[in-house]
């Protein structure tokens, strides 16, 4: 019996395609962004080259902080403020009816919430894919974010036409399910892991009603030079790992200051377990008294240790701690983190007393980068226009009629961010502009306060009226 092949690949081939080093890197980056860093930190500490030997036995505790999410969230995201304006054009004119229909379909699908999350994945991994389908139960479009970590895409030899797609749909125990989409079919797979092998079989198969693989590529700031994927931002993950190791090592170094070592010179602990350790008790009796303590308790506050002399007159017992200076290390790591953050158009403000009991405190603030946002907005606008082409096919197929014409195009307009974001600095700059007759109060009300032109004029007239009244009363 001939083994079934889809686009020249066996079912096992399709599943194995997802297990690549590139997929592991992408999933690692997403784990850091989602805050699932404990597992990755354990792997790092266990690493024979980069980790810490016998770290569990030495009492080292993994510490971590989500720099990845903090930087990505401040790094030129486009959907965190006012969503873009979408207009459907027929030729050179806007079709208001079609524009409203598109807006209704997108709103039913919760597109703002979806693209808020999608934009973060895109910013981190540099390329992300939107899978568009129609959910008949909710009677709405359905969007799903795919990326290099959870899907494989087959294209033609030119890399332009998508021939097939495979992605994981669920995982429970030793059973995993996948879906293959070609131009002709939707094929659901189930993989069951046994003691000796993994069995992949087809669980469902239906014709593809759209005649296309309904996906759209989104690229962060540039198109990939080769292939269909940009490389993910692993430099950010590397600096997050460095910072996590610094936190872990710093806490371990601080613990030496908290728990000093007992140093004994020319003497040793008595062999007698009954006499080895005593504890002074101050409660329960009118006078302090001593009591024997378990042998596993070696030292500490209010403990008395019975020593045996080595025959020297210079026996000494002392608690000593190594002098660990955290401040210079903090400064080095702080500068490195700052330099990495600049590459992501984010400014990190750090503050702290630099003492051994606390490292620098990290506060992420946005660096207003108009150029980055404009560049990302251009790429996003192009991708949303390509998404509209897929939406047209899906919607028209579902409703069985031309809801959107083949010649209609989408125009996307993002609002420019206000610069700077610092409120006090913004007010000072606008005061200088208005005083120097380079701008008006109406301009300020439009740009900063968000009024429309008519609302701004009306508000300014209201301000003038109130000021005139106040002067007259004075």
pLDDT in tens, the chain (474 residues): 467 899 999 999 999 999 999 999 999 999 999 988 999 999 999 999 988 998 988 888 899 989 899 889 888 888 877 788 899 998 889 999 999 999 999 999 999 999 999 999 999 999 999 999 999 888 999 999 999 999 999 999 888 899 999 999 998 888 999 999 999 999 999 999 887 788 889 999 999 999 999 999 999 999 998 889 999 888 899 999 988 998 898 888 887 777 777 777 777 766 655 555 556 665 666 666 666 665 555 555 555 666 667 666 677 777 777 676 777 777 778 777 877 777 777 766 544 433 333 344 444 444 446 778 888 999 999 999 999 999 999 999 998 888 899 899 999 998 766 544 556 667 777 888 888 888 889 888 887 777 778 888 999 899 888 888 888 876
H runs (alpha helix) in 35-167? 38-46, 67-73, 96-108, 111-125
Q: Taking Cα atoms as reference points, which of 336, 361, 366, 339 lies closest to residue 350?
A: 361
* Sign of the dihedral defined by the CA atoms of residues 38, 42, 44, 50, in that order: positive
> In the numeric block, which tokens belong to residue 443?
């301009």
Sole residue written with tokens 């890399």: 159
CA distance 67 to 239: 8
Helix axes 96-108, 370-399, angle to 10 degrees: 90
Number of Cα atoms under 13 Å in the Cβ half of residue 183:
9
Q: Which of 159, 189, 147 is nearest to 14 (CA)?
A: 189
Judging by beta carbons within 10 Å of its beta carbon (0-12, 13-18, 19+), is residue 81 exposed, middle or buried?
Answer: exposed
Give CA–CA dist 10/201, Å, rounded: 10
- DSSP H/E element including 36: none
């Amino acid at each position: 019996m001939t083994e079934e092949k889809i686009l020249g690949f066996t079912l096992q081939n399709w599943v194995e395609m997802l297990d690549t080093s590139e997929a592991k890197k992408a999933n690692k980056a997403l784990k850091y962004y989602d805050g699932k860093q404990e597992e990755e930190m354990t792997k790092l500490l266990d690493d024979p080259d980069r980790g810490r030997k016998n770290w569990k036995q030495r009492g080292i505790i993994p510490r971590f902080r989500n720099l990845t999410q903090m930087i990505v969230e401040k790094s030129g995201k486009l959907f965190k403020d006012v969503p873009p304006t979408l207009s459907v054009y027929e030729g050179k004119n806007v079709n208001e009816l079609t524009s409203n229909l598109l807006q209704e379909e997108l709103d039913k699908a919760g597109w703002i919430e979806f693209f808020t999350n999608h934009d973060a994945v895109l910013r981190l991994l540099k390329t992300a894919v939107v899978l568009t389908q129609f959910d008949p139960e909710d009677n709405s479009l359905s969007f799903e974010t795919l990326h290099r970590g959870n899907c494989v895409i087959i294209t033609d030899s030119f890399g332009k036409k998508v021939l097939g797609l495979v992605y994981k749909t669920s995982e429970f125990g030793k059973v995993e399910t996948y879906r293959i989409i070609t131009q002709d079919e939707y094929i659901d797979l189930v993989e069951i892991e046994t003691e000796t092998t993994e069995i992949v079989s087809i669980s469902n198969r239906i014709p593809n009603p759209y005649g296309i693989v309904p996906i759209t590529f989104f690229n962060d700031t540039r198109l990939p030079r080769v292939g269909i994927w940009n490389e993910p931002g692993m430099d950010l993950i590397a600096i997050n790992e460095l910072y996590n190791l610094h936190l872990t090592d710093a806490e371990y170094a601080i613990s030496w200051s908290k728990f000093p070592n007992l140093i004994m010179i020319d003497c040793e602990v008595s062999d007698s377990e009954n006499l080895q350790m005593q504890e002074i008790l101050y409660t329960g009796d009118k006078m302090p008294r001593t009591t024997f303590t378990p042998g596993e308790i070696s030292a500490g506050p209010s403990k008395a240790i019975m020593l045996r002399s080595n025959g020297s007159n210079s026996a000494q017992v002392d608690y000593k701690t190594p002098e660990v200076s955290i401040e210079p290390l903090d400064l080095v790591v702080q500068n490195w983190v700052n330099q990495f953050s600049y590459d992501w158009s984010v400014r990190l403000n750090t503050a702290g007393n630099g003492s051994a009991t606390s490292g620098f405190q990290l506060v992420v603030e946005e660096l207003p980068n108009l150029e980055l946002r404009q560049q990302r907005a251009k790429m996003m606008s192009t991708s949303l226009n390509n998404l509209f082409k897929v939406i047209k096919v899906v919607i028209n197929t579902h409703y069985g009629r031309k809801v959107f014409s083949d010649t209609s195009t989408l125009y996307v307009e993002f609002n420019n961010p206000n610069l700077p974001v610092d409120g006090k600095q913004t007010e000072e700059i606008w005061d200088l502009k208005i005083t120097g007759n380079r701008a008006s109060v109406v301009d300020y009300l439009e740009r900063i306060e968000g009024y429309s032109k008519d609302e701004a004029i009306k508000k300014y007239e209201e301000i003038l009226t109130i000021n005139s009244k106040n002067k007259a009363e004075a």
